[in-house]
Structure 1
Amino acid sequence: MSTHVEIALAVILISLVMFFASLLFHDKAGDKPARIAFRTFYFSAILFFISISNFVSEPAPFNDLLTDIFFAISNASLTLGILWRCKSRLPEELVYGLTTLYLCMDVFINAYSVQFAYSYNVICSLICAYALLNRQDGVNTGDKGMAAILFVHAVLLIINLISVTGVVEAGLYSKFMTVVFVFAPAYMAGLTIFLFASYMLDARKALEIQATTDPLTGLYNRRFFFEQAKLALSTSERHGEPLCLMMCDIDHFKDINDSFGHKAGDSAIKAFSNVLQASLRVEDVLARYGGEEFVILLPQTSLSKAQHVAERMRSETENIALASEKGCINITASFGVCQVGEFKDIETSINHADKAMYAAKSAGRNNVKTYSAVLT
């Protein structure tokens, strides 16, 4: 058995294992099926190396054509899979066009088929690397690793492409096959490792988001708020910076649910959370505390500034008007604000802000009260 065939069998085995392993890949609901493209990539890679092994042992036009077709399918499916997974702005028609052009030129201008194969592979690899480094949902370590593998692969192909000039002679086919067989195992293994890493990191990120995010509003949940509060308390105490806390909730929320239905109530909560979020800075921490109640931490903020922020939120909330089957829903909210004085436990400040909020409700709702004003 020749070395080429042995390496081909190794790559076929790797691709076969990865094909079945890729059945574990899951894309987000509504996303294009990148996992299907990756399975096609592994399956066509198997067929490519079977075909290329036959071509090495028995050079024939038919074997050559099959090799080119499987080569094109493997490159196209990998590129499409990455474009879909990354939600790239690059049009997938670019891949279809490049693949069609490659096959046509390879069939009708056979003397330069090696150059066409190199060029097509380089362009696909660079498209993939670009898409991975500009992924819409955020680039993780797996994506960066795949991009690095593809970039190195493209550079090696360019170096070999430069050395292949003029009409390809029989000896250059041998060189091309050597390059393919030598780098293929490392390329497939590296690409697969980082592809799996990318999917696993995405899964972990999704679990982290699920564990820290309120599903209705997309804001932080109560559990994550307490984790962030510990950091904020420590930072404020260490640097001697003011820290304020705000509690707020929708007035007469039970009446909204009873009169307009729970779906309308959910819409009211989402609309209110959007108003709150729009009024805050990046460093502020907003979380849904429970039901229609929200809690906000305002680092490096004096009580007067926090009160001003709350008043702006209250005013913006008054402008909310939600259409429903039973009529228009108008919303108001009450706010309680306090300056954090106890840096060991956030619960004390939460109780103070909560008392201020209920004082705002007792004063007629649609109001802002500070804890210091409640005490006087």
Structure 2
Amino acid sequence: MLQSVAFNLAILTIATLAFYLFIFVLPKQPKRHQHRALLCFQYSFVLSYLAYAGLCLRYLGFWGTSVLTVNLFLLAAFYLFYQGVRLRFNAPLNCRAGLLVVAHLVLFTLVQWWLWREGHWYGTRELLAFFNHSIPLLLTQQFLFVRRRAHNGGDRLMQLTLLLIWLMILVVMPIYAYAGQPLGGLLPIATLFALALECLLFAGVAMSYIHDLIAKLKDEAYTDNLTGLKNRRFFKRISAGVFSSAKRYQFSICVILADIDDFKTLNDEFGHAEGDMAIRLVADTLKSIVREEDVLVRFGGEEFLILTPNTQVEEAVRIAERMRANVAALEPKNTALCREISLSVGVSLVQDYADLELAIQRADKAMYEAKKGGKNRVVLAQAPEHTVAKNESKTALIKSAK
């Protein structure tokens, strides 16, 4: 018996140690709550292993210690996993809930130990264990179900595994308890179940981690580090979808291209730190103006581009004028700037997705006309020739009809 216990314990020890070390050597998560979630998952594996080790103690005759350790560590592992899932979505348990969890752990463990000391029928203890272990498992399932729209493959695998664990507690544990001589050949079965479920949970955690890492890399690839705005790469990625919606719902789109006036002079006279500060202040100002559906990106060094869906030209000009006025209102006495800054802005209507690059060129040309005209102003680009011809033909048809 001792050899059988040692062999099965060694198998689970190796597996748990491998999972622990793998999580331990992973790069630190980008956000604090994600890193704390990973630690909770890591130590929940350790606690579940300690619960299994406690189960093995009864094979060696230490029944009282086994009852205490199995119930305490298994329930603690479930609650720690629940906390890890909550932390993944940045919704940790508050202090009051934490105290309730601790009280539940202590009270449940002591009641189970007392029932064993008093020699109560196994059914009472197994029924009590089922209901108490179900609490953190069902809480985790409910939490994941509410946030199912934010799921990734790892979260769904964890949800499925937790359901299997709950079914094991419901079905397998009573069979184990009521078997004629459970201390014999059922230990390898318990080891197999523990190993399989631990592997599934670990796979779910790893998939979730990979998903978070990919999301971080995507965010970094599409974000400008200086301003926090999206960059030109993001603009190219999202613009096709914007025009697809525009075609479906038949609404117009405009582009606004803005450039900080005399930016090279600002850098030369006051240094690049001052230039960076000006770019950040302009970015923050524009962010406070654009609508939620607008696409604002840092298009170049000191250039900003806004794609405005469902916007007529007149409204786009008003938005551009508000951008110009708000930036011009940034006075050095109210900011850390050394001198006043302003924008020259070009506005252009976009016919369709194929016309986007040409529309940006038209807005760029209009922006340089604004600079030649004295800077700190908004200029509307001329409509493309085919659009003018089309409008003229429509007007001619209307006149002939009259």
TM-score, normalised by the number of residues in structure 2: 0.75
Q: Which moved more, 1:113-122 or 1:253-262?
A: 253-262
Change (3 A) 1:94 1:240: closer
The more displaced of 137-146 and 292-301 is 137-146
- Provide the residue aligned with 2:21 in structure 1: 20
8 Å contact from structure 1 (residues 141, 198) kept in 2: yes
Structure 2 residue identity aligned to 1:28: P
On the 8 A contact 1:286/1:296 being kept in 2, the answer is yes
Give the direction of change, closer, same or farther, for the CA distance of 1:322–1:144 in structure 2 (3 Å limit). farther
Does residue 371 of structure 2 align to residue 361 of structure 1? Answer: yes
2:21 maps to a residue whose letter is F
Pick from 155, 158, 161: which aligns with 1:149?
Answer: 161
User: Residue 121 of structure 1 corresponds to which residue in structure 2?
Assistant: 133
Residue pairs, 1:1-376, within 5 angstroms: 11-25=12-26, 26-31=28-33, 33-91=36-94, 94-108=97-111, 110-111=114-115, 113-132=125-144, 138-151=150-163, 153-154=165-166, 157=169, 183-232=193-242, 241-254=251-264, 256-257=266-267, 262-320=272-330, 330-341=340-351, 343-344=353-354, 346-372=356-382
Give, in whole Å, the separation in 2 of the partners of 1:33 and 1:260: 43
Q: TM-score, normalised by structure 1?
A: 0.79
Q: 1:65 to 1:96 in 2, by over 3 A?
A: same
1:106 to 1:360, Cα distance in 2 relative to 1, 3 A: same
For 1:201, the aligned partner's letter is H
Out of 324-333 and 260-269, give the one that drifted further.
324-333
Tell me, in whole angstroms, the C-alpha distance in 1 between the residues paired with 2:103 and 2:339. Answer: 56
Q: Distance in 1 between matches of 2:21 and 2:382?
A: 65
Tell me if the contact between 1:130 and 1:147 (Cα under 8 Å) persists in the aligned partners.
no
Task: Specify whether residues 91 and 36 from structure 1 end up closer, same or farther in structure 2 by C-alpha distance, changes over 3 A only.
Answer: same
- What CA distance in whole angstroms lies between the structure 2 residues aligned with 1:152 and 1:319? 62
Over residues 204-241 of structure 1, what are the superposed CA-to-partner deviations in whole Å (9 max), with x where a residue is unaligned? Answer: 11111122221222222112222333455566578765
Q: 1:328 to 1:90 in 2, by over 3 A?
A: farther
Specify every segment of 5 or more residues in structure 1 that has no aligned partner in the other structure, as ranges: none
After TM superposition, give the deviation of residue 263 of structure 1 in Å. Answer: 4.3
Which residue identity does 2:298 align to in structure 1?
A: R
Deviations 1:238-268 (A, max 9, x none): 8765332211022343455566654454343
1:323 positional shift: 6.7
8 Å CA contact retained: 2:277, 2:337 = no
Paired-residue identity, %: 27
Is the contact between residue 274 and residue 338 of structure 2 (CA under 8 Å) also seen in structure 1? no
Question: What CA distance in whole angstroms lies between the structure 1 residues aligned with 2:180 and 2:72?
Answer: 20
Is the 1:106–1:116 contact (alpha carbons within 8 Å) kept by the matching residues of 2?
A: no
Between structure 1 and structure 2, the one with the greater Rg is: 2
* Native 8 Å contact 2:257 2:305 kept in 1: yes
1:305: Cα distance to partner?
A: 2.2
Assess, with a 3 A threshold, how the Cα gap between structure 1 residues 229 and 98 changes in structure 2: closer, same or farther: closer
How many equivalent pairs are there?
368
2:45/2:198 contact within 8 Å kept? no
Q: Distance in 1 between matches of 2:157 and 2:268?
A: 54
Report if the CA contact (8 A) 2:266-2:274 is conserved: yes
CA distance in 2, matches of 1:241, 1:119: 57
The CA deviation string for residues 58-105 of structure 1, in whole angstroms up to 9 with x for no partner, is 252123323334324423432333333331153265245323432234
Cα gap change, 1:230 to 1:64, in 2 (>3 Å): closer
**Which of 9-18 and 198-207 deviates more?**
9-18
CA-atom RMSD in angstroms: 4.0
Offset of residue 359 of structure 1: 1.6
Amino acid of the structure 2 residue aligned with 1:45: S
For residues 142 and 157 of structure 1, the distance between their equivalents in structure 2, rounded to whole angstroms, comes to 23
Q: What is the CA deviation profile of residues 260-319 of structure 1, one whole-angstrom value per residue up to 9, with x for unaligned ones? A: 654454343233223333433444322111122111222333322221221222233344
Asked whether the 8 Å contact 1:133–1:144 carries over to 2, the reply is: no
Distance in 2 (alpha carbons) for counterparts of 1:172 and 1:321: 86
Q: Distance in 1 between matches of 2:253 and 2:277?
A: 31
Counterpart contact for 1:359–1:374, Cα < 8 Å: no
